[in-house]
Amino acid sequence: MKWTLSTLTLFLLPILGIGAQDLMLNDLDYFETQGVNVLVYSNEFTGGFNDEKNAGIEIIHHGVRTAQGGAVRLSNTPEQWDLVPNIPTRTVDSVENTISATLRYDDFDFESRVVVTPRGKGVEIAVYLDEALPAELEGDAGFNLEFLPSQYWNKVYTMDGRLNRFPRYVVGDTRTRPNSEKLKQFKGYVTHDDRGSGSFVEPLPLETGRTIIMAPDDPERLVKITSEDADLMLFDGRILAQNGWFVVRSALPAGQTGKVLSWLVEPHAIDGWEREPNIGLSQVGYLPTQPKVSVIELDPNSEPLAEASLYKIGVDGTETKAFTGGIEAWGDYYKYNYVKFDFSAVTEPGVYYIRYGDHQTNNFLIGEDVYDAITDATSDVWIPIHMNHMFVNEGYRVWHGEPFKEGYLQAPPNTDHFDIHAQGPTTDTEYEALELIPGLNVGGFFDAGDFDIETGANLGVVENFAQTWEYFQPQRDQTFVDQEQRYVDLHRPDGSPDVLQYLEHGTLQLVAQAEILGHMALTLTNSVLDNYHHLGDAASITDGLPYNPELGPYEVAADGKSSGVKDDMWAFTSRSARRDLRAATTFAAASRALKGYNDELSERALTQSKRLLAEATELLANQPEDDSRRRWGAADVSTNLQLYITTGEQQYADKFQELLWPALDQGVSWNILTALHAIPKMDEAYKEKLRPYVVKYKEYIDGLESDNPYGVPIGLGNWAGSGQIVNFGTTIAFANKHFPDIISADHVFKVTDWLYGNHPYHNYSLVATLGATRPKEVFYGNNRADFSFIPGNVAPGLLFRQPDHFENYDDWPFLWGQNEGTIGGNTAYLIFGSAFKDLME
């Protein structure tokens, strides 16, 4: 159809004129009508990562959170690290039917008040100022509302009747502005390498006018915004940053007070709209004899059906009904209603799909070997790609060259970092500020979608490898690793089990920290924000040359051994006794697992374990008690257990039991896995003493059945909960091994079901694993700008947005809390998968 203004007008009249009910303030303190939710500061900006694209005024439009960030902002297209407002007050007035909030920028002593009021099918957003805009913010402060690009690109928009399309690709006009101190102030950090130009890139609006109609060609995404007192400007935030959104913005006027700006925002609601059922299933498939229960997520306005069916696809392509069963109601869980379809009676291997009313799933397998390869992609691809200080190759592709050849500089005292790191008042080392610390550029793993070494995460990673080897001794060899040449080649066996090589690589980094610094670093990370959010080859973050302050910017010394580029990585070295204690645990386990493979490294690890345990215990004894001691007490329990297993010295066994039982009394779910790991090394009396705690853990498992329809521990924080659920599955596997009369192996299938697709929002596998019919296709990895993934990745999963919305974008990778795989999470999945497969055998 050829779009013209007249045809567009005819199309819009019935949509914008009649249909859905008015928006109303509900008892969860947001505005709602069927198909549209408008949240007003239900989720606030964080003070750590600033703008996470998860806050402000948000629109959940026909089931998808398509708009967020509604607030007074100080940039046309704010980036993650730009300043965000504090929200000192939020007021819900059920009498006046309004939600208002105070927004404050302390740096400028600037406050505004935003009031949101229903107006027919939409809401009025009004900005009030008690005092005129500060002079230094004139032209820079404005009200923004940001829209998810993946839901709008290639769709039509109009500005004052002028037709256009949202661009799929990042193309637009920009200008440069002086990189003034003012701009530096409200940018928070200088985020872009300007190569000495002294200027800052700023996108220009795609369109300007008083009325914008977004996606008239898609009723599910149609939004109309009008303003009578200010121009609306449409920007493409992706010009400055790949994670930017489309931004509708109006500048705040100078010299005015009172109601200085108002918009009418009208998200179209399709009359009678109901969300399609989300039919959960394991995309990897099912064993013939395992429980098979699909949890079906229903719109609250949908009437549940009485039954569902399973269809089998024959080798000739014919489809036959294999099973019909009743639907069991579970009830409401936050926004939606849940029912269950149990098809455990179907045991014949084959290819199947579920049909519920007019809706059917993609196909999946029932077979004896569906879980055989669930960890292969993680072990063969994801983990080796994240090996730091190595050149990593895969076939024709280089994932990254050797990063950080120049090593790491000592972070200066009293330095705050943009990833919630900080150096204390001293270095706690023998090195001066910005002095090169020799020997740290060895081993270790990138933390996640970024390229730093988080020591805490790497400690857990090494222990995961050590336990995977100790319990299961996987002989899989698909990765070539040469520490001397600093070279890794995927899909190329070299005669050594991969898990041992990964264990060695991680231990090399951590032991180097302990030996060189005398204790464990907080992190080895970027000193420059522009390097921190780098996308691409890790080796190109820095120039491989130490910084030389005697050289000009970007100048290279005549001998080629230093440069004038301030791109060097920093080591944040403030000492933490609890982190050292955690390292003592890891080193004890690593020493044991490395024996016979790398005896020299094994001895070094054991030496550091004993030293750090003694020093950390003394340091903690001299520190006052605080609330975190209870959780870190578990590390003390584990440390003594690992040292006892490694050395056989009774003093460690006695200390372990002294600490264990009070820790279990304080929190069974936190500490039971460590207690289970001790069983093979303790006597029968220990196991019997542990039995009541396992019974208590069984009560916790049973309680999850009434907590949520999936029967797993679902996290509701700012990082989704796959890691907690994976740990839950590992605990069940070990508990069943030692107490099969108490803990049924059937519980572990709730974890695989969740990971592989039986969860809220959609039914994609959260693991990019072999065998999954419908895995997630985009993740927050270091290749996220390509809208791709790294095989074997495990997503954090279903991110909870207050007060009642779960989401996991599969068309927008840039929200790390739901899409970023981490080295800690992926190696925890490796040990879970190994324990699960062992349990199945």
Instruction: Assess whether 811 carries a catalytic annotation.
Output: yes
The predicted model gives 580-587 an average pLDDT of: 95
State how far the Cα of 750 lies from the Cα of 310, in Å rounded to an integer: 20
Residue whose token pair is 């975190």: 628
pLDDT in tens, 321-371: 999 999 999 999 999 999 999 999 999 999 999 999 999 999 999 999 999
Encoding tokens for residue 12? 């819009």
Encoding tokens for residue 287? 């064993």
State how far the Cα of 347 lies from the Cα of 285, in Å rounded to an integer: 12
State how far the Cα of 201 lies from the Cα of 189, in Å rounded to an integer: 14
Asked if 775 and 795 touch (Cβ cutoff 8 Å), the reply is no
- pLDDT band at residue 84, thresholds of 50, 70 and 90? very high
Instruction: Assess whether 820 carries a catalytic annotation.
Output: yes
pLDDT in tens, 270-318: 999 999 999 999 999 999 999 999 999 999 999 999 999 999 999 999 9
CATH 3.60.10.10 fits 371-623, yes or no: no
State how far the Cα of 374 lies from the Cα of 752, in Å rounded to an integer: 10
pLDDT in tens, 483-526: 999 999 999 999 999 999 999 999 999 999 999 999 999 999 99
Nearest to 465 by CA among 494, 439, 445, 436: 445
User: What is the predicted pLDDT for the residue at 636?
Assistant: 83
Residue 2 has pLDDT above 70, yes or no: no
Q: Is 10 exposed, middle or buried (0-12, 13-18, 19+ CB in 10 A)?
A: exposed
Residue 26 has pLDDT above 50, yes or no: yes
pLDDT in tens, 745-769: 999 999 999 999 999 999 999 999 9
User: What is the predicted pLDDT for the residue at 595?
Assistant: 97
Contacts 24+ apart (CB under 8 A), 476-482: 476/376, 476/379, 476/380, 478/376, 478/379, 478/380, 479/380, 479/384, 481/384, 481/387, 481/390, 481/505
User: What is the predicted pLDDT for the residue at 626?
Assistant: 55
Q: Which distant-in-sequence residues (6+ apart) come within 8 Å of 182 by Cβ?
A: 136
State how far the Cα of 208 lies from the Cα of 250, in Å rounded to an integer: 10
User: What is the predicted pLDDT for the residue at 533?
Assistant: 86
Asked if 176 and 195 touch (Cβ cutoff 8 Å), the reply is no
pLDDT in tens, 728-742: 999 999 999 999 999
Asked if 191 and 418 touch (Cβ cutoff 8 Å), the reply is no
DSSP H helical segments within 622-775, as ranges? Answer: 629-647, 650-666, 668-677, 684-707, 722-738, 748-756
Encoding tokens for residue 810? 């599969």
State how far the Cα of 208 lies from the Cα of 434, in Å rounded to an integer: 48
Residue 197 has pLDDT above 80, yes or no: no
- Sheet strand arrangement including 122-129: 86-93, 98-105, 110-119, 122-129, 258-267, 223-226, 211-214, 156-159, 162-165
Asked if 592 and 605 touch (Cβ cutoff 8 Å), the reply is no
pLDDT in tens, 404-440: 999 999 999 999 888 888 999 999 999 999 999 999 9
Q: How many CB atoms lie within 10 A of CB 475?
A: 10
In the chain, where the domains are located: 5-267, 278-366, 371-623
pLDDT in tens, 143-184: 999 999 999 999 999 999 999 999 999 988 988 877 555 545
Encoding tokens for residue 431? 């090195």
**DSSP designation for 381:** I
Whether the model pTM is above 0.75: yes
Residue tagged active-site, from 111, 753, 804, 820? 820
CATH topology for the 278-366 domain: Immunoglobulin-like (2.60.40)
User: What is the predicted pLDDT for the residue at 575?
Assistant: 97
State how far the Cα of 725 lies from the Cα of 437, in Å rounded to an integer: 39
Residue tagged active-site, from 435, 665, 811, 838? 811
CATH number of 5-267: 2.70.98
User: What is the predicted pLDDT for the residue at 262?
Assistant: 98
- pLDDT band at residue 710, thresholds of 50, 70 and 90? very high
State how far the Cα of 761 lies from the Cα of 278, in Å rounded to an integer: 7
Q: List the end-to-end C-alpha distance of the chain, in Å, as a whole number.
A: 59
Q: Coil, strand or helix: which one is 409? A: strand
Angle at 732 between CA 730 and CA 734, to 5 degrees: 70
The secondary element (H helix, E strand) that includes residue 208 is strand 207-209
The predicted model gives 648-657 an average pLDDT of: 94
Percent of the chain exceeding pLDDT 70 equals 94
Encoding tokens for residue 696? 């208590």
State how far the Cα of 835 lies from the Cα of 726, in Å rounded to an integer: 11
Q: What are phi and psi of 104, to 5 degrees?
A: -130, 135
Q: What distance lies between CA 387 and its chain's CA centroid? A: 20
Contacts 24+ apart (CB under 8 A), 412-418: 415/570, 415/572, 417/525, 417/572, 418/81, 418/189, 418/529, 418/532
